[in-house]
Amino acid sequence: MKRCLVMQHVAFEDLGTFAPVLEEKGFAIRYCPVDEPPTEEEWLAADLAVVLGGAIGVYDQVLYPFLKDEKDLIRKRLESQKPLLGICLGAQLIASVLKSRVYPGKGKEIGWGGVELTEAGRKSPLRFLDGYRPVLHWHGDTFDLPEGAELLASTPVTPHQAFRMGNHVLALQFHPEVDADKLERWFVGHACELARAAIDPRRLRDETKRAGESAKETGQALLREWIDQW
């Protein structure tokens, strides 16, 4: 059986609707919380490595020293040229390892909305998001596009929403993996962030009811096609 190792920063941010697709593709999934990191050998041996989101910044290494070791593992994974998926903080960490600047964006981008695909994006697995199909945005930081990376998607607030390096590295600032049925955990877990940004969870809850099922379909289609391209 193939193995998928997942770096997880907070318990309620998991693979969501991506998990059934990975199981369908024959992957055994193992989560690695920040206090239980994989060994370098395990990380490099995995058929797929995933780095999920979290409410800290790439530049917070003094406050969260584990980020240094995490970036070292990402660097070695990139060097191996084996499949690597980064979502939100995971995408920012990949960009940072690729020597791009990660920094606070124009403002918090939290809520459901589409992305504008580039020409390359429309020829990539992100093509399922064409037509402004809804995805969940939940971030305040952004990054410069790494040298040699192919920009796939943008929004007015965040010009660099997604990039890839060949077919084996995919970095997504937004959350196509999110399970709408479990978003109440996010609303509670990120309650302080929502309050500081003056975002009413009732609005997010209403948006989720309208967008959740469509987002699940497009997110799962995106992941299936990306895996099939390796």
Catalytically annotated residue among 13, 70, 109, 177: 177
* Catalytic annotation present for 177: yes
C-alpha–C-alpha distance, residues 150 and 171, integer Å: 10
* Catalytic annotation present for 32: no
Catalytically annotated residue among 9, 70, 88, 139: 88
Q: Are 143 and 100 a contacting pair, CB within 8 Å?
A: yes
Question: What helix, strand, coil percent values describe the chain, rounded to 5?
Answer: 40, 25, 35
Q: Which residues pair with 116 in a beta bridge?
A: 154
CA 57: distance to chain centroid? 14
- State the angle between helix axes of 66-80 and 89-97 in degrees (0 to 180), rounded to the nearest 10: 70
Q: Which residues pair with 151 in a beta bridge?
A: 163
Catalytically annotated residue among 9, 139, 160, 175: 175
C-alpha–C-alpha distance, residues 158 and 22, integer Å: 29
* Catalytic annotation present for 217: no
C-alpha–C-alpha distance, residues 153 and 126, integer Å: 8
As annotated, the active-site residues are 88, 175, 177
